[in-house]
Amino acid sequence: MKRSPFTRRPRLAREADQLVWLAEGLARSSSRVEDAFWESRLIAEVESLVEAEDEAALTAALDRLSQAGDRGFEELADVIESRCESTGTAADDPQAGMLLLAIPVLAWSRLRIPAGNLPDALLAQVRSDLQAHVIDPEARLVLGDFLFSPDQLPQGYIATANLARRFFAALEAKRPLRLDAGDFPETGQFLSDARYILAAVSAAPGSALFRWQAEDSNRDALLAAWSEAARNTLSGAFPACAIDVLGPQAFFSACRESDRQLRPYSLNAGVEFLRATLGVEPASLRAFVGGFHGHRLEEYRVGFALPEGEAVIHGVVWPLLDAEDENSDVIADVEQRLRDAGIVQIQVFEQRFPLEFCDDCGAPLYPNEDGEPVHPEMPEQPTSPSAHLH
């Protein structure tokens, strides 16, 4: 039976009101004693909404706090994410202390960046790299046998909580989580993109999950050793790709970190791609940067052009993340990263570009030297007929 929006709206509003009130209370509290009051109620309220799979109430409350610029936004987001990616910490709870991890891998390739099921031998090696450098020797660990593209990750809080629950069951059963590639959508292909391996870890209450929780350890050194080992292990699963393996983190943090790092990574990949395919050095490339607007500023786009000619030969999208908006100085970061990549001829357009894509292939349009949004067109390359990348 279709639920009438008139009966739905007051209920949604009431639940969102409650979340907003508790999150604001927690944000304004000035003591851990008062925090405990707000937090326990907020956790219980979020718990019941996640159990009821009420994504709409959770996002409605977050939207309201975000629009009001309220500090309660961070508090509420924190509680929701924690509920969806982990179990509680109570010492008497046998399921306590389970955490869903994501391991981001940044990749670029002129060919296809893989996604889908991973072979057992490779997973066993990733597991052993994790145990050598990241996971405490006493902690329990299971991996999912799947390399996720961003489109294949759970979309939303409830979907994440449901997938986490499957990982936690695998953790209790001490076996890898088998995932069926048929359950996931097709992966869009880009020159550079992120992939994710998911895992779950648990420790006895009061014990460490990670090696850097030991007193004499060095977190940065452990993560550097991990990235190196994992890059060697995973390179076989990424034929014809350059890859960079980031540190494993709690699911939502890992996704945010990966989104953030993918921006400069994609700029560098674009410059490397042009060097590799056309033999053009970064110093002779021209870069045109503009802000592209839907209802608001959504992303910056960088069009690359050769020293001569009007064509934009390649483009890179730099999306805004988290709380970034028109007032954030994102453009300075884009310019700095372009200079770091060796680009010296950079032109930034002040005008508002419309958020336009190619009607045929969906490729974003990029600014050209005249400040017009145009389709990227690679010059003819006799050796590489398939390099017209979208």
Residue 220 or 360: the one with the smaller Cβ distance to Zn ion is 360
Distance CA 165, CA 83 (A): 11
Residues near 362 by Cβ (< 8 Å), separated by ≥ 6?
Answer: 390
Distance CA 141, CA 195 (A): 20
Q: Which stretch binds Zn ion (CB under 5 A): 58-66, 194-202, 252-260, 356-364?
A: 356-364
Residue 72 or 376: the one with the smaller Cβ distance to Zn ion is 376
Q: Which stretch binds Zn ion (CB under 5 A): 11-19, 282-290, 361-369, 378-386?
A: 361-369
Which H or E run includes 306? none
Residue 263 or 375: the one with the smaller Cβ distance to Zn ion is 375
Question: What are residue 316's phi and psi, to 5 degrees?
Answer: -135, 135
Q: Which of residues 267-286 bind Zn ion (CB under 5 A)?
A: none
Provide the minimum distance between the beta carbon of 362 and Zn ion in the complex, in angstroms, as a whole number.
7
Distance CA 83, CA 76 (A): 11
Q: Which stretch binds Zn ion (CB under 5 A): 50-58, 166-174, 263-271, 357-365?
A: 357-365
Provide the minimum distance between the beta carbon of 386 and Zn ion in the complex, in angstroms, as a whole number.
15
Could you list the beta-strand ranges (E) of the chain: 98-108, 116-117, 140-148, 192-202, 242-245, 249-250, 286-293, 297-305, 314-319, 345-354, 366-367, 373-374
Residue 147 or 302: the one with the smaller Cβ distance to Zn ion is 302
Distance CA 235, CA 165 (A): 30
* DSSP-based three-state secondary structure for 227: helix
Residue 344 or 358: the one with the smaller Cβ distance to Zn ion is 358
Residue 43 or 363: the one with the smaller Cβ distance to Zn ion is 363
Q: Which stretch binds Zn ion (CB under 5 A): 78-86, 147-155, 318-326, 363-371?
A: 363-371
Q: Which of 250, 331, 363, 387 binds Zn ion (CB under 5 A)?
A: 363
Q: Which of 217, 358, 381, 388 binds Zn ion (CB under 5 A)?
A: 358
Residue 33 or 361: the one with the smaller Cβ distance to Zn ion is 361
Q: Is 389 left (phi over 0), alpha (psi -120 to 50) or beta?
A: beta
Provide the minimum distance between the beta carbon of 285 and Zn ion in the complex, in angstroms, as a whole number.
22
Q: Which stretch binds Zn ion (CB under 5 A): 11-19, 105-113, 322-330, 354-362?
A: 354-362
Residue 292: strand pairing partners: 299, 353
Q: Which of residues 29-88 bind Zn ion (CB under 5 A)?
A: none
Residues near 149 by Cβ (< 8 Å), separated by ≥ 6?
Answer: 113, 115, 187, 188, 193, 194, 195
Provide the minimum distance between the beta carbon of 289 and Zn ion in the complex, in angstroms, as a whole number.
21
Residue 276 or 358: the one with the smaller Cβ distance to Zn ion is 358
The residue count for binding Zn ion (CB under 5 A) is 4
Q: Which of 360, 382, 383, 386 binds Zn ion (CB under 5 A)?
A: 360
Q: What is the full DSSP assignment across 332-385?
A: HHHHHHHHHTT--EEEEEEEEEE--B-TTT-PBPEE-TTS-EE---PPP-TT-T
Radius of gyration in angstroms for the set of CA atoms belonging to the chain, rounded to a whole number = 23
Distance CA 303, CA 270 (A): 10
Provide the minimum distance between the beta carbon of 390 and Zn ion in the complex, in angstroms, as a whole number.
6
Q: Which of residues 225-254 bind Zn ion (CB under 5 A)?
A: none
Q: Which stretch binds Zn ion (CB under 5 A): 110-118, 194-202, 213-221, 350-358?
A: 350-358
Of 117, 31, 19, 114, nearest to 72 by C-alpha is 19
Residue 121 or 361: the one with the smaller Cβ distance to Zn ion is 361
Our finding on whether 380 is near Zn ion (CB under 5 A) is no
Residue 308 or 359: the one with the smaller Cβ distance to Zn ion is 359
Of 232, 246, 226, 350, nearest to 300 by C-alpha is 350
Q: Which stretch binds Zn ion (CB under 5 A): 1-9, 112-120, 127-135, 360-368?
A: 360-368
Distance CA 98, CA 86 (A): 5
* DSSP-based three-state secondary structure for 277: helix
Which H or E run includes 218? none
Q: Which residues bind Zn ion (CB under 5 A)?
A: 358, 360-361, 363
